[in-house]
Amino acid sequence: MKYAFLPFLFLFQIGFCQQDSLVDSRDGEHYSIIEFEGLKWMGANLLVKNNSSFCEHKKDRDGLCENGNFYSNQYLDQLCPTDWRLPTIEEWRNYFDSFGLDINNKKQFKTVERPNGMLMVRDKKKAFNFLPADNVLNLKGTGWVEGERLMQPLQTTYWATDSISGDTKTHVHISKHLFVVHGHKHNIEDKKEKVRRFGVRCVCEL
């Protein structure tokens, strides 16, 4: 009898992150996995529902959320599946750095960078696309939700972790010509009727 439990124990030890795809045990949703800069990234936005989530198609009869759910900053540490977590500021910046751009080129870019990792880069010439269709993380323009309204559908916004300060308001905006990592209180903690909800991508160490 004791040998019957060995396969189960082996699967438990290798963990969910060692698989080639992810099945969220909470709702049965399947996610592809992308390996990038020493991490495994979910290949699509998180779909799991909780008390802070909002789906842009919530009034549809089938309840489809094809672009994933949007979440307030409540329960951020509980959103990702077992063994997975939110990306840090630095890990989101790895996506930006993969383009190999000279952000100090003042003729093309307006750049504001802070010692705490916050960054804003705007392409003044609108010549470079930070959200190409073939981007390495399969990111798409999904917007964000303010109250119950979908905003900026050509942009995408995700929650991030500030590993230094632990700030739970940190997030990243990515659009064709703008990349921003920052945090603020406005419409995240100060106005409940206009609370902003962002998408979530989870990561796991290789």
Low pLDDT (below 50) residues in the chain:
1-14, 61
Q: What is the pLDDT of residue 14?
A: 41
Q: What is the pLDDT of residue 66?
A: 78
Q: Which parts of 79-129 fold into alpha helices (H)?
A: 89-97
Domain map of the chain by residue range?
A: 2-205
Query: pTM for the complete prediction?
Result: 0.86
* 3-class SS of residue 123: strand
Q: What is the pLDDT of residue 110?
A: 96
Q: How does pLDDT run across 114-160, given as a tens digit for each residue?
A: 887 789 999 999 999 999 999 999 999 999 999 888 899 999 999 99
Of 167, 199, 164, 195, which is closest to residue 182 (Cα–Cα)?
A: 167
Q: What is the pLDDT of residue 11?
A: 37
Per 3-state DSSP, what percentage of the chain is helix, strand, and coil (rounded to 5)? 15, 30, 55
